[in-house]
Amino acid sequence: MMRQYELVERVQRYKPDVNEALLNKAYVYAMQKHGHQRRASGDPYFSHPLEVAAILTEMHMDEATIAVALLHDTIEDTSATRQEIDELFGPDLGSLVEGLTKLKKLDLVSKKAEQAENLRKLLLAISEDVRVLLVKLADRLHNMRTLDHMPESKRLRIAEETMDIYAPLAGRMGMQGMREELEELAFRYINPEAYRTVTSRLAELSERNRDVIVEIENTLSELFKKYELKASVKGRQKKPWSVFRKMESKALSFEQLSDIFGFRVIVDTVEDCYRALGAIHTTWSMVPGRFKDYISTPKQNDYRSIHTTIVGPSRQRIELQIRTREMNKVAEYGVAVHALYKDTPGKVNAADHAISKETNAYAWLRRTIEQLAEGDNPEDFLENTKLELFQDQVFCFTPKGMLIALPRGATPIDFAYAVHTDVGDTCVGAKVNGRIMPLMTELKNGDEVEIIRSKAQVPPAAWESVVVTGKARAAIRRATKNAIRKQYSGLGARILERAFDRAGKVFSKDGLKPVLHRLARKDVEDVLTAVGRGELASSDVMKAVFPDFKDERVTQAAKPREEGWSKIRNAAGMLFQIPGRASRKDRQVARENGAVPIRGVRGDLPVRFAPEGAVPGDRIIGIMQPGSGITIYPIQSPSLTAFDDQPERWIDVRWDIDEATKERFPARISVVALNAPGSLAEIAQVIAENDANIHTLSMIRTAPDFTEMLIDLEVWDLKHLNRLISQLKENASVSDAHRVNG
């Protein structure tokens, strides 16, 4: 276990003016508080915060962050209190320790809602102070290094949450070294057989190519000397998880991988980066499509480097990364490079803090935090954040030259939402490099994208399955929910207008505002939506607005439907008849009765048809289904008997067919046909010749001579359906055909 003076010496190597008193006080306090506590390995518990502190010294963190690492488990696991920490170390350090304490129970593979809420807490804590993230990641890294000592039942869970959240979060914050070690440790437990196989193959390959690697290093070094460039060259091997992931994603064998070995070229200045690139490309051929300049366009985690692949001295492919020493430091430690607080303990250097807040990694974090305020449900937030964590990038431009960074696989829809949510919501088309392209087009590096907009556009729900960015997916879901809410609100307004009119009252939205508290709704739209969904009865709204109102339906006994369904009682206890494609006079009667117009499932109301269907020409009735709008039944349907004692759910409806917009409607028929080869084909041919469409077909009874089929059709109207049934009956293979109602 590291001694007190050894910890101080570690920090002194990179920070000579270290506050030794703070480190000594934190060391002694934490050691005393943890006392005789033991870890699962049997080691003193204090060894854990000490190792976490040691990891942070490798990242050159300041003494305040090291002190927080020493103290991070004291409030949770010992008798220490926040007040005591504040008194001894100051409120700033106390706040950090308490923040880490709240995250101690973070369990990211629990139920989705809990997982999302814990992730919210983590990201919010990070947004307050980057040191929370650094200590949390160091804490996780040491726990992963000692995972062998945990019960076997917990290892897989901890490894999965590490691979799922912590490793990609470290990468998203630019801490590539931390990410690679977390991934490798998690890989060992998630897929031990694959880990052993890949590790063994890599060891064999490394031994076999040792001389080749040294030769390439020397060749590159000699080249840079020739061009009078001061550069260091170091060969490196891909990590096991990176190799395995590439083999899986691209369906490659180990032998097919050409970039297991790479070389990193470190120079002094940005100018030297491009001089080194020129020396390399003028000496060896570049592999087309393998050049990326992340210096001119950094990644969102602040990573900067030039990547290129060449056909090297021995005709083998060589992958190269060229960067400055400062870039290399950022690539390894990410936001930690900007998190050195050089003031007195507990004080944050405002200038350094401002720098860290302006990094690309922090910009992403701010955007993610903004989503918290946009009302996404926990599962959506979790999914969207994971999408953002795992994606690599492409860089595209607006027509004015603005750079937009997007995940690989992004579409113009993602691009539109990345520019602004309003641009995405009104997107109807896109030009990519001056040509009109489908909105599903996968964007490539350097594409110039122009979004074509229309104020009349509402984002289709189907877009959600196409986009790859969390922001686009969340915005589309919100727009879809708002559109559905608008439908229910419109339906609710019509229902209330009808109910108020029948009671001899005048309905107005303003009249609902004074009684919102009685209806337990926060605004008028909530009331209308609840009525439209069937969650709030129109009579309850009437009573809230007019306390003396008495609903006639409550006192009137439910009357049985008359023989033949010639008449039926509506929601207010009145008698009405609903026309199909009816005369002007009949339509006027329907309107006077307050019937809600129905155009079909593609209309502007949340309606659906009963399983047996309904077609224009049928007399129809609507039944309010709480939470799902109105279900339309033909009035001859036996299914309606189930609602005889629920008159408040009956809604007057009428057909309102737009002759210019042709739309088929559902109907169900039963056909009894000869059980002989070709009979089904003949039936299908009759249906096709009559311009009807088979939606589903099932055999409900098969006998030696006859087969009974249940066919769900789509037809234009009642005349069309009757004509089709008549022609089916005339077919020689058909014994009987009739419509099914319920």
For residue 82, give the amino acid letter. Answer: R
Find the length of the chain.
Answer: 742
On whether residue 359 sits in a domain, the answer given is: no
pLDDT, tens digit, 9 for 90 and up, residues 19-71: 999 999 999 999 999 988 888 888 899 999 999 999 999 888 888 899 999 99
Residues 76, 84, 215, 708: which is the catalytic one?
Answer: 76
pTM score of the predicted model: 0.54
On whether residue 402 sits in a domain, the answer given is: no
C-alpha span between 727 and 731 (Å, rounded) = 7
pLDDT reading at 89 higher than 80: yes
pLDDT reading at 351 higher than 60: no
If one counts the domains in the chain, the total is: 5
C-alpha span between 73 and 51 (Å, rounded) = 13
Of 373-382, 471-480, 565-574, 718-727, least confident by mean pLDDT is 565-574
Quick check: is 222 catalytic? no
Structural domain ending residue among the three candidates 141, 172, 190: 190
pLDDT at 26: 92
Element (H, E) at 190: helix 176-190
Same domain, 211 and 328: yes
Residues 20, 58, 77, 184: which is the catalytic one?
Answer: 77
Task: Write the CATH number for 251.
Answer: 3.30.460.10
Terminal Cα-to-Cα distance of the chain (whole angstroms)? 78
pLDDT at 721: 94
Same domain, 683 and 732: yes
Mean pLDDT of 551-566: 42
Mean pLDDT of 422-434: 93
C-alpha span between 609 and 634 (Å, rounded) = 9
Same domain, 176 and 44: yes
pLDDT at 106: 47
Mean pLDDT of 387-399: 68
pLDDT, tens digit, 9 for 90 and up, residues 595-648: 677 766 555 567 889 989 999 988 898 898 877 788 999 988 888 888 888 877
pLDDT reading at 392 higher than 70: no
Mean pLDDT of 515-544: 87
On whether residue 184 sits in a domain, the answer given is: yes
C-alpha span between 575 and 556 (Å, rounded) = 13
Provide the domain limits for residue 532.
480-550
Same domain, 536 and 597: no
More confident residue, 726 or 302: 726
C-alpha span between 31 and 4 (Å, rounded) = 10
pLDDT reading at 165 higher than 80: no
pLDDT reading at 581 higher than 50: no
Same domain, 14 and 160: yes
pLDDT band at 439 (very low <50, low <70, confident <90, very high): very high
On whether residue 468 sits in a domain, the answer given is: no
Of 42-51, 292-301, 334-343, 713-722, least confident by mean pLDDT is 334-343
Same domain, 54 and 87: yes
Query: Quick one: what percent of the chain has pLDDT higher than 90?
Result: 29
More confident residue, 507 or 392: 507
On whether residue 463 sits in a domain, the answer given is: no
Same domain, 186 and 224: no
Structural domain ending residue among the three candidates 311, 335, 359: 335
Mean pLDDT of 423-443: 93
pLDDT reading at 364 higher than 70: no
Mean pLDDT of 127-133: 73
Same domain, 205 and 293: yes
CB atoms within 10 A of CB 722: 14
pLDDT, tens digit, 9 for 90 and up, residues 209-247: 888 888 888 999 999 999 999 999 998 888 898 888 888
pLDDT at 145: 93
Structural domain ending residue among the three candidates 306, 335, 364: 335
Task: Write the CATH number for 690.
Answer: 3.30.70.260
SS3 of 435-491: EEECCCCCCCCCCEEEEEECCCCCCCHHHHHCCCCHHHHHHHHHHHHHHHHHHHHHH
On whether residue 36 sits in a domain, the answer given is: yes
Task: Write the CATH number for 23.
Answer: 1.10.3210.10
Same domain, 171 and 32: yes
Same domain, 298 and 259: yes
CB atoms within 10 A of CB 358: 10
C-alpha span between 480 and 461 (Å, rounded) = 6
pLDDT at 119: 62
C-alpha span between 19 and 336 (Å, rounded) = 19
Query: Quick one: what percent of the chain has pLDDT higher than 70?
Result: 80
Q: From residue 363, give the alpha-carbon distance in Å to each of 301, 304, 731.
A: 9, 16, 71
On whether residue 646 sits in a domain, the answer given is: yes
pLDDT at 144: 93
Same domain, 37 and 156: yes
On whether residue 102 sits in a domain, the answer given is: yes
Same domain, 48 and 65: yes
